[in-house]
Chain A
Amino acid sequence: AQSVSQHNHHVILSEAASLELGCNYSYGGTVNLFWYVQYPGQHLQLLLKYFSGDPLVKGIKGFEAEFIKSKFSFNLRKPSVQWSDTAEYFCAVNPQTGANNLFFGTGTRLTVIP
Chain B
Amino acid sequence: EPEVTQTPSHQVTQMGQEVILRCVPISNHLYFYWYRQILGQKVEFLVSFYNNEISEKSEIFDDQFSVERPDGSNFTLKIRSTKLEDSAMYFCASSATGRVEQFFGPGTRLTVL
Residues of A within 8 A of B (CB): 4, 32, 34, 36, 42-46, 49, 51, 90, 92, 94, 99-107
Contacts and interface: CB of A to CB of B under 8 A. Distances in A.
Interface of B: 3-4, 31, 33, 35, 41-45, 48, 55-56, 58, 91, 95, 100-107
B100 A100 contact: yes
A85 B81 CA distance: 39
A102 B31 CA distance: 13
Contacts of A106: 41-42
- Interface of B, secondary structure class, is strand
A51 B45 contact: no
Contacts of B44: 104
Contacts of B55: 99-100
B107 A43 contact: yes
Nearest to A96: B100
Contacts of B101: 34, 46, 49
B67 to A, nearest CB: 14
Given A90-B43, A107-B42, A100 B104 contact: no
21 contacts: A32-B100, A36-B104, A42-B106, A43-B3, A46-B103, A49-B100, A90-B43, A92-B43, A99-B48, A99-B56, A100-B31, A100-B33, A100-B102, A101-B33, A102-B35, A102-B43, A102-B45, A104-B42, A105-B42, A106-B41, A107-B42
